[in-house]
Structure 1
Amino acid sequence: MAAAYVEEAFWQDAAVDKRQVDGLGAALELRARNGQPMADFQLKNAELAGIDLVNHGGHAGFSLRDADLYRANLQNAHLFALDLRGSSLMKADLRRANLHCADLRDCNLLGILLDGARLDNIIWDRQLLQERKGREQLRGGDSVAAIQLFQEAEETYRNLRLHLEQAGLFEQAGLFFHREMVMRRLQMPRHSGRRLLSWVVDLFSGYGEKPLNVVLFSLGLIGVCGLLYFLVGVRQGDQSLGLAFERGLWANLTDLLDCLYFSVVTFTTLGYGDITPQGLARPIAAFEAFVGSFTMALFVVVFVKKMTR
């Protein structure tokens, strides 16, 4: 069997039960160190516990791209900077493995076991494989297949998030939590109220992971309401503030700035009283004050959640 290790067909033959091969890990290590190609290797159910595929002294890691590692035993494996792009790690056992700086783009990570694994600086996809395929199916009109893929994507994002949180990698965990919630939303009926509400929460705060969204929404609302006050007019004592074509550019610009100031005061519910709404400005001010109080409370929750991690 040792001679078969050097044959390309042995490694790429899915019919060969790799569980029955002794010394498989050592043979794979030797092949990597000799610089031989390791693309499309069929290693389903392979016993590779403790394998060392670290390119010691090299600037780049070894490449094991497009491999099938379904249910492979990779416990305590040393996979620093290993290029696994396009590989299937579905239900692979990577407990206590070192995946530091590994490249896991385009990988199938459904059901992967990562308890105690080192996960810092891994190169992840912005969207996991199942999510991308699900969106392709949705564009092709196959909503049933798309929902199934979105379910798998949600499960995978949740699994990765939990392990990243355990490893203290909260920034990446937060990104995966956001994708998890997006996948859950895409499984809801397209025109349902629940899906709309979920989309609004995502837009405002990124499901609690994007405080900048809250700030941008606040600035946008203040600006829009300020322009509306400028168009419909507000009062400052006995003087009316608003758009007036008969007045000069500088006077209109000054009134616009005063309206923006009033919008800030209304949004923050300070209510100084130096400028007051009139006519159509009143319902606008009431709406802005209501949304503003809610938005500031939301920002505090999101900001504290991010800072306490």
Structure 2
Amino acid sequence: MSERVPEDRCGYVSAEDLPEDLGGVCCWRSIWKNNNKCFWHTEKESKSCTELQNAQLNKGERLDGAILKKSAIPPISFADAILWDADFKSSTLSNVNFSNANICNSSFLGADLREADLSNTSAVNADFWHCSLRGADLIGADMSNSRLANVDLRDTDTIGLTIEKANLNEANLKGLMLSNALMTKSTFAGANLSDTQMSQLYLKGADFEGATLKNAKASNTNFSQVNFEDASLVQADIRDSNFKNTRFYQTLFSDTRINSNTDFGDTTAYEDPDIDLGENYEDTSRFEAAAWVYRRLQDLHEENAMSEQAREYHVRKEEAHRSNYWSKGQYFQWFVYTLNRYLTRHGESLKHVVTWSVGTILTCALAYPFAGGISTGNEVFRVGSGAALGGLFLRSLYFSTVTFTTLGYGDYHPVGPAAKALAGAESLAGALLVALFVFVLGRRVAR
């Protein structure tokens, strides 16, 4: 600043990276105890309660860069104050009022903020690592880009909280109520969210890798593009939630509650080649991961008595296996899965089997009159024999049906090598398709 600071004044100048709406300031407070700075900016640890209570603090005062580390701060009020880049490391701040304050870029590393009032506080880029916020009021607070790793947020009120891109790795959030909060692209890796209430959250792009959500209530929440790999969703309630493009590889589902409105999307995130899966998938292909997820989703829907959806996930799992065989050049396995896909829709469609069966019978019925015909022993029925076309087709259809079902009454038999070969092929196809019909029917009844 151009104006010279008197020797009896602090002269602390706020950081240069302040937002334009705040603007820089120079501290004009009196120096404290023959120090070069005022009470708030003196580099001293463990400032006493008496000293803090004696320090005059007006509502909305600028305290940029305040140094209060390792101090036992009494329940004083910092409401509406601007504490940009302040230092509260390892301080005790229980029941302190920070409501409507600006504590952006400040450090609360290892601090005790139990029961503190942080409602409507702006804490963007703040550091709360290893901090206790148990029972604190975070209603309407903005903690975007903050570091909340290893933080204790139990019993905290967080309605309307915003913590976009925040770091909550290894945080203890057990029993936390998270309602109507914006938490996109935040990381909760290894965090404990057991018994957490997570209704109507927006968590798109968040990372819950290795997190524990046992008995969490997470209904009506947007989890799209979230990473739940290695996470535990035991006894969690995720009804009416959105999980489109969510990563579930190695996720533990057990007694997890879903309903028809729980949306897992049409495909998994692993099948999208534009999504970077990272180094963890050097030994696992995208399709192997997708098949694993589809298998777990199949089991999950079966546990919740949603058999139709379970069948659909079984089909998707088999399709992922088929694509995996093709990508690895294992063409025989790919052919077997492809054949199963079209014949039975991977063991789930009676309609497919019946369609192939009827088609085989009709095709052979049309072919017999041209391949040599059929005979009763006394008369041959084939094209050009003089028989009426309608009667010829009906006899051929009867013979085709008897041959397909391998009943073999013996009243008709094929004439000529071509007709005999066709009858043998139809008999073999019939035995296969009847067996497949029984197999698919058994799967559906068992499920």
**TM-score by structure 1 length?**
0.79
- SS of the equivalent of 2:273 reads helix
Residues 121-160 of structure 1 aligned to structure 2 (within 5 Å): 121=260, 122-133=262-273, 148-160=285-297
Deviation for aligned residue 1:242: 3.5
Aligned to 2:147: 16
Q: Are positions 1:95 and 2:234 aligned together? A: yes
Per-residue deviation at 1:281? 0.9
1:113 counterpart (252, 267, 276) = 252
Once the two structures are TM-superposed, the CA of residue 247 in structure 1 deviates from its matched residue by 7.0
Structure of greater Rg: 2
Alpha-carbon distance, 1:164 to partner: 3.7
1:47 aligns with 2:192: yes
Provide closer, same or farther for how the CA distance between residues 162 and 36 of structure 1 changes in structure 2, counting only shifts above 3 A: closer
2:402 corresponds in structure 1 to 265
Residue 141 of structure 1 corresponds to none
Distance 1:45 1:147, change over 3 A: closer
**Residue 285 (structure 1) shift:** 0.5
2:429 pairs with 1:299: no
Stretches of 4+ moved more than 4 A in 1? 5-8, 28-38, 144-147
CA separation of 1:25 and 1:65: change in aligned 2, threshold 3 A: farther
Retained in 1: the 8 A contact 2:198–2:221? yes
Which runs of 5 or more residues in structure 1 are unaligned? 55-60, 138-143
Higher RCO, 1 vs 2 (CA within 8 Å, ≥6 residues apart): 1
CA distance in structure 2 between the aligned counterparts of 1:258 and 1:145, rounded to whole angstroms: 61
Unaligned runs of 5+ in 2: 1-112, 124-137, 163-176
Contact 2:159 2:180 in 1 (8 A): no
Equivalent pair of 1:236/1:276 in contact (CA under 8 Å): yes
* C-alpha contact 1:104 1:125 (8 A) present in aligned 2: yes
Residue 182 to residue 125, structure 1, CA distance change in 2 (3 Å):
same
Aligned partners of 1:207, 1:129: CA distance in 2, in Å?
Answer: 22
Q: Distance in 1 between matches of 2:283 and 2:371?
A: 48
SS of 2:374's partner is strand
Letter of the structure 1 residue corresponding to residue 266 of structure 2 = R
Structure having the larger proportion of residues in helix: 1
**Structural mapping, 1:29-40, within 5 Å:** 37-40=182-185
Distance across 1 between alignment mates of 2:284 and 2:179? 44
Aligned match of 2:86: none
Q: Residues 230 and 101 (structure 1 numbering): CA distance in 2 closer, same or farther, change over 3 Å?
A: farther
RMSD over aligned CA atoms reads 3.3
User: 2:294, 2:313 within 8 Å by CA — same for their partners in 1?
Assistant: yes
How far, CA to CA, are the matches of 1:196 and 1:34 in structure 2?
Answer: 50
Could you state the TM-score of these two structures normalised by the residue count of structure 2? 0.56
3-state DSSP of counterpart to 1:105:
coil
- Aligned-residue sequence identity (percent) comes to 23
Alignment counterpart, residue 322 of structure 2, candidates 182, 185, 193? 185
| Superposed counterparts of 1:232-271, under 5 Å | 232-237=371-376, 238-244=378-384, 251-271=388-408
